[in-house]
A and B are shown apart, each in its own frame.
Chain A
Amino acid sequence: MSFLERVDQTIRRSPVWRSIFRQPYPRDERSRAYAVMNNVFLHIHPVRVRQHAVKFAYTFCLGGLSFFLFLVLTVTGVYLMFFYVPSAAQAYDNILDIQSQVTFGLLTRNIHRWAAHLMVFFVFLHMMRVFYHGAYKPPREFNWVVGVVLLFLTIMLSFTGYLLPWDQIAYWAITIGTNMGGYAPLFNTPVSRILLGGVEVGQNTLLRFYVLHIMVLPLVAAIFLAVHFWRIRKDGGISGPL
């Protein structure tokens, strides 16, 4: 046995390695299936894939692309958070600093911005695809409802993020958006007060939208995404031609 093989064996037989990887490297079909089932990152994949499921032109990977963009937005969003203070006095200057002073700041902000636009677009396309294929039909009707909630969360994430640059278009767009809520019956004024944190768009609104944008809505979206993916498996796998 060569030296490298002995090192390899020592590592693989150590308690630490075996506490992380309980099974040896999967070399047959059964243990490969087992590896997929027992891995947290792989377990949302089915162990066996039906032939129709790998056909790109049926789903166009639209749901997967939406999720990919969600991940891109999470990562770039965390990067941007290091340089942004949700304060009416600082927010706009922070945006300018991100664009001109921070290394790769302009790139990061643009990725975040374009990924946000694309996510809304792809979620919409995903919904259209599911609709035109009738993929919302039983047993998938509940997952359609979860998807509608996710569409709403995506739009709200987009809406709350729109205010954060704190420039003129952001300020007046949110003024208009929250005033539209004023035309809704019954809950118009209370909802607008709670959302704005006052009678008009101001410091409180900026802070509230920031908290919703970076914490509350992504957290809720992550929970609904987990349920959405889990239901795909439970409802009979990825949808195929009826």
Chain B
Amino acid sequence: MSNYHVEPAAKPGALTKEAIKSLRKEQVEGLSRRQLMRVALGTGIGLWLLEVGAGTIGFIWPNLAGGFGAPIQIGALEDVKTANSTLPIDEGFPAYYAEARAFVILVDPAQQRFLPGEDQTGDGTALNVRALYQRCPHLGCKPNPCERNFWLECPCHGSRYDRLGIKADGAAYGPAPRSMDRFSITVDDKGVLTVNTGKITLGPLPVALGQPGLIPPRTPTGCI
């Protein structure tokens, strides 16, 4: 037998939690070093992940300044007519303004001008003009004005509104839960319309065909 052979002091046992504990000179009181390191590391990584997560959300959050959301000047009724010369604007047909995401509509065609004033709720009867948000209250598509029946019709799921954006009640007229939303508007002394695209009032509940408040379609069949 060589000199280098060493007999083990004791038969090795399994490295159980108790076996490791018994090897320590003194029992740990309170927090052990291992626990402290583990908790510190865990907290550090947790805080870092939180920071990165919050930073990422901040980084990808869109900057909404400028453009849609601000007051946008449209012009007087004559300007609307000139810009949409092929459309029967004087009969109250909706004129589309892409920049404002809005339909501008003459409320009462008997009176061919916008009346000066301010309308926060966007009803527009007092100003003889209404500005509708193009977003269909169902799922956000853009209803198109139909020259045949003078209604607004959404191509995505078939919600139908009269020319002033009032939803016709009933499943036959599409799934939208309410009428089209309205922008707050002002008309100055010269009759120039400004649409505040930052202030939107939800449209009223649908009105059944034949009831007051809903203009019937000019023709039974529309464009969709």
Contacts and interface: CB of A to CB of B under 8 A. Distances in A.
Nearest to A183: B139
Contacts of A204: 62
A175 B135 CA distance: 10
A180 B13 CA distance: 63
B72 to A, nearest CB: 14
Contact of A198 (B64, B139, B155, B156): B64
B64 A172 contact: no
B36 interface: no
Contact of A199 (B61, B68, B139, B141): B68
B141 A196 contact: no
A172 B156 contact: yes
A222 interface: no
Contacts of B61: 193-194
Given A194-B57, A199-B69, A200-B101, A176 B62 contact: no
Interface in A157-185: 172, 175-176, 178-180, 182
A198 to B, nearest CB: 5
Interface in A5-49: none
A200 B64 CA distance: 11
A199 B64 contact: yes
B109 interface: no
Interface residues of B, number: 14
A204 B64 CA distance: 11
Interface in B52-103: 57, 60-62, 64, 68-69, 101
B141 A172 contact: yes
A193 B140 contact: no
A172 B135 CA distance: 11
Given A172-B156, A176-B156, A197 B62 contact: yes
Q: Which 7 A-B pairs have the closest CB atoms?
A: A179-B140, A179-B139, A176-B139, A197-B62, A175-B140, A198-B62, A172-B141
26 contacts: A172-B141, A172-B155, A175-B140, A175-B141, A176-B139, A176-B140, A176-B141, A176-B156, A178-B140, A179-B140, A180-B139, A182-B140, A193-B61, A193-B62, A193-B64, A194-B57, A196-B62, A197-B60, A197-B62, A198-B62, A198-B64, A199-B64, A199-B68, A199-B69, A200-B135, A204-B62
Interface of B: 57, 60-62, 64, 68-69, 101, 135, 139-141, 155-156
Given A172-B155, A196-B62, A199-B64, 9 more contacts: A175-B141, A179-B139, A180-B139, A193-B62, A194-B61, A197-B62, A199-B69, A200-B68, A208-B60
